[in-house]
Structure 1
């Protein structure tokens, strides 16, 4: 028994092919209908076309990541009813086509954020970095979001000013591209790079949330769940919300999946077993006060999907992605806790014992530098992470099995 090994695949335009995945021993594919615009219905023929292509390579479509929740649902816009109906139909179609797990997020406007996509580590590999003062420089001095400077300490704003003053025009443009476009367009973000003025388009989206605080966004998520979960229950689909990345407020926007208290609220807001979470060690680890083992312990029975990677936290709240095992978090303990939950499910006779995981993001290593991959998604770096996690998992499984047999004697 082991967590199901999966891999995020970005469809037919992904330079990493299904044949590559098959060769690497991947068991399940994590993908989406990336060509379908956000808010539109996913049709059965398109779902089956992708599913059959994956199965023809001797793998299964393990998890849908993501079925995007459009901004109109998050803000409860005038178009909410149509968008909800399309999401319901999409969930129904997925379930009737044999898909059972859907990852989604409820992050306003900005999905995930990094300031440097080519951060070089001492061993010459490349990582992704979130530098707090650089992000503040982007928010206050480049984006010039109204009122932004009042939402940070004077000391941090002054530090950000120094960062900004030392930027060239090219540096500033690259930072805008990294935050607004490069990390967003391949995951169906709101700004896809086609606008002549992406900063203004971004500000327009942010402005929609001027009257939506954390409480209101929670209400909108609860309304979404109340409409979608009954359909998911009917067709056997488990919804797994992804935590905010990073797990704290950005750009004055509310973030509602950042810590244990948020998960406890979520699981009470809709008590269905089909309302669950994606446990992402990388996202959650970027907040110093998050105890990841405690989060697993409190939410384990509703963990439907797992993302595994590590981060290195810095004293000022900045962080960089440090690989899959090495970093600020105890990945041995995290993986052990997940394997124990899998065994518990097996003992209870639950059907959801696969507990699919994927190696999330990855360092650029070796021939990754010779290819154009989506930010955070290189081939060799993720394969290295998959191998490391698989090896650790096999060792932990051996110990768990031995301990279990000893207790039975």
Structure 2
């Protein structure tokens, strides 16, 4: 397994020399400067590669793109789609020309990952990301005033949401909005309440079936090109794995993943196994999902969440939470062993520690929410230990 680290390039408070000290070698990044839907120029890709690998002693290299964004028009099935598909294919061609072959993306409409609090207290100090079902209900029902939002929440959650809203200050409500908007680190788009209402109008009439159809068209347009260029596309699951703001989510369960992979049955149509995103759904057995789709896993995000009965969840320590991380990594190590026996070229699965707690000097540093230095380094060290132990067990010393 290839130890990797997400880096936001010129927008990141964490430097490449600091990343080198974590022990990771693969850099997971993107050209955040390029507007959605435009071509990633080869010269910009090479410039970012040169920046990452400038100090040869560090051994850093750009191994995974996260993300090559899918334009909202594609998700809605609207606008100049032929140009957008052509631009996406050309970006894949340019990445391949630069030797980058793993491309993570998502198909979440409008918002990426969604949290309601960015600084929830962690059990032994520090802070964590949190999704509160009552706070999300308060935002949807009382702040956004979305029609039909009440039906998406239980009576108990609605009552708690009302209590919070009526007792909250304008500052707390603004903080809730800011937290929900923080899940857009790649786009750098932010909406106020009225702006979000306007954006949601663009999805009126687009339900699960319509979004699936638009996704199937996207895959049909780009997967053959990915095959031609030797690119491994890998979709990231929905975060959280449930409908948000009345928008359908269609990458939330094992059955969703099966539909996606079957729609273009190609090694170039693969999965980013995100244990935290999938783990937030009580119906998902994440190690079982990893075993089920192991041959098509091209990238892994390893983190953990602790779920609560009302649908809330909080980012846990990497070896805490509800997902059996040892069993999950065992599935990935076993898949690498199988690939090696098959003689596959893509034996090693890149992984990164995802969404760490803000610990010690992380606090107040201004890193991207969920992406501190020390918290992720702690997670990487823990994950590294599991990987090494499992790899050791698989070696015969006779």
TM-score bracket for this pair, using the shorter chain length? over 0.9
CA contact (8 A) 2:122 2:357 kept: no
C-alpha displacement of 1:84: 1.1
Pair 1:22 & 2:20 matched: yes
CA distance in 1 between counterparts of 2:118 and 2:13 reads 19
Give the superposition deviation at 1:151: 3.2
Whole-Å separation in 2 of the counterparts to 1:381 and 1:152: 33
CA distance in 2, matches of 1:159, 1:113: 20
Alpha-carbon deviation of 1:149?
2.1
1:262 aligns with 2:256: yes
Q: 1:358 aligns with which of 349, 352, 360?
A: 352
How many Å apart are 1:115 and its aligned residue? 0.7
Aligned to 1:79: 80
Cα drift, residue 245 of structure 1: 0.2
> What CA distance in whole angstroms lies between the structure 2 residues aligned with 1:247 and 1:273?
24
RMSD between superposed Cα atoms in Å? 1.2
How far does the alpha carbon of each residue in 1:169-198 deviate from its partner, in whole angstroms, 9 at most, with x for none? 110111011112x232x2215x336xxxx2
How far off its partner does 1:118 sit?
Answer: 0.6
Match of 1:390 in 2: 384
* Alpha-carbon contact 2:126-2:363 (below 8 Å) kept: no
**Counterpart of 2:195?**
201
Q: Deviations over 1:204-257 (max 9, x none)?
A: 221211111111111111100111011111111100000000001111110000
Deviations along 1:113-148, one digit per CA (max 9) or x if unpaired, are: 111111002311211111101100001101111232
Residue 188 (str. 1) matches residue 187 (str. 2):
yes
Task: Pick one of 205, 214, 217 that aligns with 2:211.
Answer: 217
Q: CA deviation at 1:267?
A: 1.1
User: Which residue number corresponds to residue 147 of structure 1?
Assistant: 148
Aligned to 1:271: 265
Count residues with an aligned counterpart.
395
Distance 1:93 1:384 in 2: 35
Aligned to 1:380: 374
Conserved 8 A contact 2:157-2:310: no
Deviation at 1:299, TM superposition (A): 0.7
Q: CA deviation at 1:74?
A: 0.5
Which of 312, 315, 327 is residue 321 of structure 2 equivalent to?
327
Aligned to 1:287: 281
Name the SS for the 2:395 alignment partner: helix
Q: Could you say which residue in structure 2 is the equivalent of 1:38?
A: 36
2:157 maps to 156
Q: Which runs of 4+ in 1 moved over 4 A?
A: none
Q: Distance in 2 between matches of 1:113 and 1:55?
A: 32
1:78-127 C-alpha deviation (Å, 9 max, x unpaired): 22111111111111111111110000000001111111111002311211
1:219 and 1:298 map into 2 onto residues whose CA distance is 24
Partner Cα separation in structure 1 for residue 47 and residue 172 of structure 2: 42
Distance 1:229 1:42 in 2: 18
The 1-side partners of 2:89 and 2:200 are apart by: 26
Task: State the distance in 1 between where 2:25 and 2:127 align.
Answer: 27
Q: CA deviation digits over 1:308-337, x for unaligned, max 9?
A: 011111111111001211111110110111
1:50 maps to 2:48: yes
Give the SS at the match of 2:11.
coil
In structure 1, C-alpha distance between the alignment counterparts of 2:323 and 2:22, rounded to whole Å: 26
Give yes or no for the alignment of 1:250 onto 2:249.
Answer: no
Measured in 1, the distance between the counterparts of 2:389 and 2:79 equals 53
Aligned residues of 2:237 and 2:251 also touching (Cα < 8 A) = yes
Q: Structure 2: which 5+ runs fail to align? A: none
Unaligned runs of 5+ in 1: none
Corresponding residue of 1:308: 302
Q: Structure 2-normalised TM-score?
A: 0.97
Structure 2 CA distance, aligned partners of 1:401 and 1:125?
38
Work out the CA distance in 2 between the residues paired with 1:375 and 1:269.
Answer: 34
Aligned to 2:11: 13
